[in-house]
Structure 1
């Protein structure tokens, strides 16, 4: 997650047309990692919205910041802190919550503690190790997808692909448990274990998505495509696919916008596209706000 030099970005933005972007390694790396991350965020976000756990994604965005700064302050790769922090806190939230499903009181308590801890690690990092990589803290907050190396992009893509595969593998029982927890448990669905497994995937997805849009904008990448999908269809499996597709399209649009206008950060372009798509769904007034998801698959 090292920063991409501004001069290189400005020069790259002067290419001839969209296809010229793929002649630049930094863009190829961002496209590879971003596509996989967007799919994972779209799938994960759909279940977060369906299970009314969006606040969990918000809390984990702050955990991502704290974990990354803790790793940097200790002299380690920030990705170690990202994954260790988000997954551990996700499990903690599930443990304290009910049946592996976090509640707002638990999340609020963890939220306040994590923010204070993040402030401590930020101070420790900036006073002891900032000379080594002064922009790393900013990259964690706002993302640095154009700064990914080939190895980092491949790792990000493989991890995100693994998240997608795992989510699709548990999609049907997780959907059942999300729509009617009591009946699902009575039918033998391991509701609590599914809840824990899902939270682990949310934590891993939050850690990965931080590289694309940063900790501050992470919640938007998780929630906006899913929210738009739920407004456009009440069929769960169709909505799940639509959420992933919208996330992918918004990622591509954001990268293209940032390439065309090099002064715009890619995280801004991605979230601008996501926000626009979500706003446009309000024009589909026939479906109405707060429409419930039907259990038919």
Structure 2
């Protein structure tokens, strides 16, 4: 295949306007998932649960694969697998974060089960591939309503517990001493995370879910220390990566996930570069500052 053929398989905008008009539900679904991923991702990064997200996604993949095998609803299977994994990790409490090997056991187990179920499935290969790499270009109105309802429910619960959950995430010992139900909030958040992972898998697939639930929040924290601005930036980055990835994928013949993950990574790379430049210029300014030099000379 020539470089031109490769480029055309990635980007080809013939009849783009007509295609875009047919997938408006998919674009709205991407926006909803971007909003959800940006909000949840902020707390995931703050609670240092990035590795747990990957473990949950593998069991979500197993649940979706089993549902595909038996002819059940794939989203329901994905939700069951995600919530089961999330609650398992949540009931472990703090041990789950200090002993990543426990989560590491869930990952190959879930991936192995998912591959087993897919190998037994005799239907369309595109269905198998979609579970791993994402498939959202065929969202109908009913699916969009279900997706939006689930996302709104998760966001509503997050809003209700945001302050105590944020306090428990930053300083669990002090929160416990102040009477905050740290363990209950941890289990509740893991359940919400399980739902979010299952919904996000529809966009980027089980293998790349971190690009939606981790990367935007990590990028936001690179450029701001403000909790409020970090949430706003995280949501913005996630929506841009998701919706932008969907719109780019309409012009190519490859799955949606490479577009979403690439945009997400580029956003993170720019934020990391800005953070590095700000640190370097800050250090340089402190070194050459006349006031700093005068104070140093006075001390000597």
Q: Mark yes or no: TM-score above 0.5.
A: yes
Tell me the equivalent position of 1:5: none
CA distance in 2, matches of 1:168, 1:264: 37
1:235-282 CA-to-partner distances (Å, cap 9, x unmatched) read 1222122111111122222122223x3234322211111111001112
Deviation at 1:64, TM superposition (A): 1.7
CA distance in 1, matches of 2:112, 2:13: 39
Deviation at 1:101, TM superposition (A): 6.0
How many residue pairs match? The answer is 270
Tell me the equivalent position of 1:227: 218
CA distance in 1, matches of 2:202, 2:63: 13
Change (3 A) 1:251 1:112: closer
Question: Greater helix share, 1 or 2?
Answer: 2
Tell me the equivalent position of 1:242: 233
CA distance in 2, matches of 1:216, 1:45: 17
CA distance in 2, matches of 1:148, 1:90: 26
Q: State the TM-score, normalizing by the size of structure 2.
A: 0.83
CA distance in 1, matches of 2:98, 2:190: 9
Q: Which stretches in structure 2 are left out of the alignment for 5+ residues?
A: 1-8, 281-300
Equivalent in 30, 53, 58 of residue 34 of structure 1: 30
1:22-74 CA-to-partner distances (Å, cap 9, x unmatched) read 522xx211111111111111111111111111001111121121111111222
CA distance in 2, matches of 1:102, 1:30: 38
Matches within 5 A, 1:273-284: 273-284=263-274
Change (3 A) 1:113 1:99: closer
1:146 is paired with a residue whose SS is coil
Tell me the equivalent position of 2:116: 120
Equivalent in 241, 252, 262 of residue 272 of structure 1: 262
CA distance in 2, matches of 1:105, 1:43: 27
Tell me the equivalent position of 1:15: 15
Matches within 5 A, 1:192-271: 192-259=183-250, 261-271=251-261
2:137 is paired with a residue whose SS is helix
Q: State the TM-score, normalizing by the size of structure 1.
A: 0.84
CA distance in 2, matches of 1:58, 1:100: 13
1:147 is paired with a residue whose SS is coil
Tell me whether 98-107 or 54-63 shows the greater mean CA deviation. 98-107
CA distance in 1, matches of 2:95, 2:151: 26
1:94 aligns with 2:90: yes
Equivalent in 44, 47, 62 of residue 43 of structure 2: 47
Tell me whether 183-192 or 73-82 shows the greater mean CA deviation. 73-82
Which is greater in Rg? 2
Deviation at 1:114, TM superposition (A): 1.9
Are the counterparts in 2 of residues 253 and 270 from structure 1 also a CA contact under 8 Å?
yes
Tell me the equivalent position of 2:172: 181
CA distance in 1, matches of 2:153, 2:13: 32
Tell me the equivalent position of 2:153: 162
